[in-house]
Structure 1
Amino acid sequence: MLPISKMKSFVSSSSFSTLSPYFPITASPTLSLAYKSTQCNPIFTHLSNFFSLKTPRVSLPRNEGFSTQKRTAQMGASLSPPSGEVHVIVGPMFAGKTTSLLRRIQSESINGRSVAIIKSNKDTRYGLDSIVTHDGMKLPCWAVPNLSSFKQKFGEGAYDKLDVIGIDEAQFFDDLYDFCREAADMDGKTVIVAGLDGDYLRRSFGSVLDIIPLADSVTKLTARCEICGNRAFFTLRKTEEKETELIGGADMYMPVCRQHYVSGQVVIETARTVVEEAHKVEFTTTA
Structure 2
Amino acid sequence: MNDLSSGFLSIMIGPMWSGKTSKLVDKYKQCKLCGIPILPINYSLDTRYGDEVISTHDERKIPCIMAKYLSDISNICDGEITQAFKDAHVILINEAQFFEDIKVWVICAVEEHHKRVYICGLDGDHRRSKFGDVLDLIPFCDEVIKLHSICMACKKCPAIFTKRAVDNEKNMLLVGDISQEQIVIGTDIYKPLCRKCYTD
Give TM-score, length-normalised by structure 2. 0.85
Secondary structure of 2:74's aligned partner: helix
Aligned-residue Cα RMSD (Å) equals 1.5
Contact 2:12 2:121 in 1 (8 A): yes
Cα shift at 1:204: 0.5
Contact 1:86 1:190 in 2 (8 A): yes
Equivalent of 1:97 in 17, 20, 26: 20
Q: Where in structure 2 are the equivalents of 1:13-32 lying within 5 Å?
A: none
Match of 1:195 in 2: 121
1:128 aligns with 2:54: no
In structure 1, C-alpha distance between the alignment counterparts of 2:15 and 2:149, rounded to whole Å? 7
Greater CA drift, 188-197 or 132-141: 132-141
In structure 1, C-alpha distance between the alignment counterparts of 2:51 and 2:135, rounded to whole Å? 25
In structure 1, C-alpha distance between the alignment counterparts of 2:91 and 2:110, rounded to whole Å? 10
Equivalent of 1:212 in 117, 138, 143: 138
Segments of 4+ moved more than 4 angstroms: none
In structure 1, C-alpha distance between the alignment counterparts of 2:166 and 2:47, rounded to whole Å? 20
Equivalent of 2:42 in 110, 119, 128: 119
Which fold has the larger relative contact order, with Cα–Cα distance below 8 Å and residues 6 or more apart in sequence? 2
1:251 aligns with 2:188: yes
Contact 1:171 1:195 in 2 (8 A): yes
Contact 1:118 1:168 in 2 (8 A): yes
Give the residue type in structure 2 aligned to 1:232: A
Cα shift at 1:125: 1.0
Match of 1:262 in 2: 199
Secondary structure of 2:42's aligned partner: strand
Equivalent of 1:170 in 96, 116, 122: 96
In structure 1, C-alpha distance between the alignment counterparts of 2:106 and 2:29, rounded to whole Å? 20
Cα shift at 1:157: 2.3
Structure 1 unmatched ranges of 5 or more: 1-81, 264-287
In structure 1, C-alpha distance between the alignment counterparts of 2:105 and 2:85, rounded to whole Å? 13
Cα shift at 1:228: 1.2
Cα shift at 1:237: 0.8
In structure 1, C-alpha distance between the alignment counterparts of 2:159 and 2:84, rounded to whole Å? 40
Paired residues in the alignment total 180
Match of 1:239 in 2: 166
1:107 aligns with 2:34: no
Give TM-score, length-normalised by structure 1. 0.60
1:156 aligns with 2:82: yes
In structure 2, C-alpha distance between the alignment counterparts of 1:116 and 1:158, rounded to whole Å? 7
Choose between structure 1 and 2: higher helix proportion: 1
Match of 1:37 in 2: none
Fraction of identical pairs, as percent = 38
Contact 1:128 1:142 in 2 (8 A): no
Cα shift at 1:108: 1.9
Which of structures 1 and 2 has the bigger CA Rg?
1
In structure 2, C-alpha distance between the alignment counterparts of 1:139 and 1:161, rounded to whole Å? 18
CA deviation map 1:30-55 (0-9, x unaligned): xxxxxxxxxxxxxxxxxxxxxxxxxx
Give the residue type in structure 1 aligned to 2:120: A
